[in-house]
Amino acid sequence: MNDELAAELEAAQWRKASYSGANGGDCIEVTPLSGDRFGLRDTERPDLAPWVLRGSVFRAFVAGAKDGEFDF
């Protein structure tokens, strides 16, 4: 990870879904980043390096979640 991205992630405003409180807090947080990228991290392990996804990948993931693609 380059220094610029590390600084951006350090200053990021992380958000999680309002639904997250209903399932015991097991969720992910997201933050928009420069260059049409998004950071994702586990709320239970914010100390670990987050995933950084291209915007197109993140939007496809969100669309799949909304469509029930990941429902068990």
Q: Residue 52 has what pLDDT?
A: 97
Asked whether residue 24 is domain-assigned, the answer is: yes
User: What is the extent of the structural domain holding 13?
Assistant: 3-66
Task: Decide if 59 is inside a domain.
Answer: yes
E strands of the chain, at which residues? 15-16, 28-33, 37-42, 51-54
- Residue 71 falls inside a structural domain: no
Whether 51 is covered by a domain: the verdict is: yes
Could you tell me the pTM of the whole model?
Answer: 0.82
φ/ψ bin of 27: left (φ > 0), alpha (ψ from -120 to 50), beta (otherwise) = beta
Asked, for residue 72, whether it belongs to a domain, the answer is no
* Residue 46 lies inside a defined structural domain of this protein: yes
pLDDT tens readout for residues 21-71 = 565 667 889 999 999 999 999 988 888 999 999 999 999 999 999 999 999
Number of domains in the chain: 1
